[in-house]
Amino acid sequence: MLPPGAPPVPVSTLPPAPECVELAARIEEAFKGKVKAAKAMNPLNPGIQKELNVFVDVATDHKALPDLWRWLRDKEGFDHCSLVVAIDHMDRIEVKHLLFSYTSHITVETSATLDRIDPLMPSASLAWRGANWLEREQFDLMGVKFVDHPDLRRVLLPDDWIGHPLRKDYEFRQAGEWW
């Protein structure tokens, strides 16, 4: 699958927008050494006239994430947590948080790599309440445990379900399912 740290592609040959470049530079400066990479992207956009993206890769060093999120929310005005998605590559789990700013319309994508056997990572629901249920859903379906999440329970599946269905090695009709 995708090697770790791969940026979102397909990428256009045109240079990214200046505000994205500046934001990426500010992130690099504020979190020097803690963040592995911060890049402004200009993805190829068939059908979309305007899209501003910044990709931040944290890899396995998750301690910077709560500070990064709070910095983005308070200093840079990223009020909205759009999406939390966990992807099960066979050797690791990658969790992306997509954050959006209502004023500058920039989307920041933070990407964290987690161990597949015991996936732990800090929770963004302390910074944005909107991430609460999105993270609960990723816990429910993929098994990612968000440390300091206020209410980590299953949301879509019944409370006594065993297993995490969206994993690639989830077997149907395994022990615990009665229908």
Q: Between 14 and 32, whose beta carbon lies closer to other proteins?
A: 14
Asked if 19 touches other proteins (CB under 8 A), the answer is no
Cα-to-chain-centroid distance, residue 129: 15
Contact of 16 with 8, CB cutoff 8 Å: no
Let me know: does 100 contact 80? Beta carbons within 8 Å. yes
Distance CA 161, CA 79 (A): 34
Tell whether residue 81 is a contact of other proteins (CB under 8 A): yes
- DSSP labels for 136-172? HHHHHHH--EEET-TT---SSS-TT--S-TTSTTPPT
Distance in Å, CB of 47 to other proteins, minimum:
5
Identity of the amino acid at 97 = H
Q: Does 49 bind other proteins (CB under 8 A)?
A: yes
- Pick the stretch among 14-22, 34-42, 50-58, 115-123 that binds other proteins (CB under 8 A): 50-58
User: Should residue 37 be labelled a site residue for other proteins when binding is judged by CB under 8 A?
Assistant: no
Which residues of this chain interact with other proteins, rule CB under 8 A?
1-2, 6, 8-10, 43-52, 79-83, 85, 87-88, 96, 98, 102, 105, 107, 128-134, 137, 141, 154-158, 165-166
